[in-house]
Amino acid sequence: MPPTSETQASQDRAASLPFELMEVVSVSRSEIEVCADLERVVCDRDGAVATLDRATLDDTAMPKLPRDQSIVITIDGPAGTGKSSVARSLAKALGLDFLDTGAMYRAAAAITIDHKIDPSDSDAIVRETVKGDLHFDWTRDPPTILAFGSPIDHRIRAPDVAELVSPIATIRALREHMVKKQRIIAQQHPRLVTEGRDQGSVVFPDAAVKFYLDASPEVRARRRAEQLVASGHSADLGSITAEILDRDRRDSSRADGPLMCPSNAICVDTSDLTFDQVVKTLHRHVLAVVGR
102 binds ligand DC (CB under 6 A): yes
Q: Does 82 bind ligand DC (CB under 6 A)?
A: no
- In the complex with ligand DC, the residue whose CB is nearer, 196 or 262, is 196
Q: Can you tell me whether residue 138 is helix, strand or coil?
A: coil
Q: Which residues pair with 214 in a beta bridge?
A: 269
Specify the DSSP element, H or E, that contains 75.
strand 71-76
Q: CB-based burial of residue 194 (10 Å sphere; 0-12 exposed, 13-18 middle, 19+ buried)? A: buried
Spell 248-276 as b/e; 16+ CB within 10 A means b.
Answer: beebeebeebebbbbeebbebebeebbbe
SS3 percent helix, strand, coil of the chain, rounded to 5, is: 45, 15, 40
How many angstroms from the chain centroid is the CA of residue 90? 12
Kind of pairing between the strands at 97-100 and 191-195: parallel
Q: In whole angstroms, what is the distance from residue 199 CA to residue 74 CA?
A: 6
Identity of the residue, 108 or 266, whose beta carbon is nearer to ligand DC in the bound complex: 108
Residue number, 24 or 157, with CB nearest to ligand DC: 157
How many positions of this chain bind ligand DC (CB under 6 A)? 13
77 binds ligand DC (CB under 6 A): no
Q: Binding pattern to ligand DC, positions 129-168, x when CB under 6 A?
A: ------------------------------------xx--
Return the number of the residue (35 or 156) whose C-beta is nearest ligand DC: 156
Q: Find the binding residues for ligand DC in span 179-218 (CB under 6 A).
A: 196-198
Among 105, 204, 211, 212, binds ligand DC (CB under 6 A): 105
Measured from the CB atom, the residue of 79 and 273 that comes closer to ligand DC is: 79
Binding residue (CB under 6 A) for ligand DC from 35, 75, 85, 106: 106
Q: Does 111 bind ligand DC (CB under 6 A)?
A: no
Residue 101 touching ligand DC (CB under 6 A): yes
Find the radius of gyration of the CA atoms of the chain. Answer: 19
Question: What x/- string results for residues 219 through 258 when contact with ligand DC is judged by CB under 6 A?
Answer: --------------------------------------x-
Measured distance CA(8)–CA(223) in Å, rounded:
23
- The set of residues, in sequence order, having a beta carbon less than 8 Å from that of 259 and lying 6+ positions away, is 76, 77, 78, 197, 198, 248, 251, 252
Looking at the Cβ atoms of 22 and 99, the one nearer to ligand DC is: 99
- Among the candidate windows 8-16, 43-51, 85-93, 99-107, which touches ligand DC by CB under 6 A? 99-107
> Given the rule CB under 6 A, which residues bind ligand DC?
79, 84, 101-102, 105-106, 165-166, 169, 196-198, 257
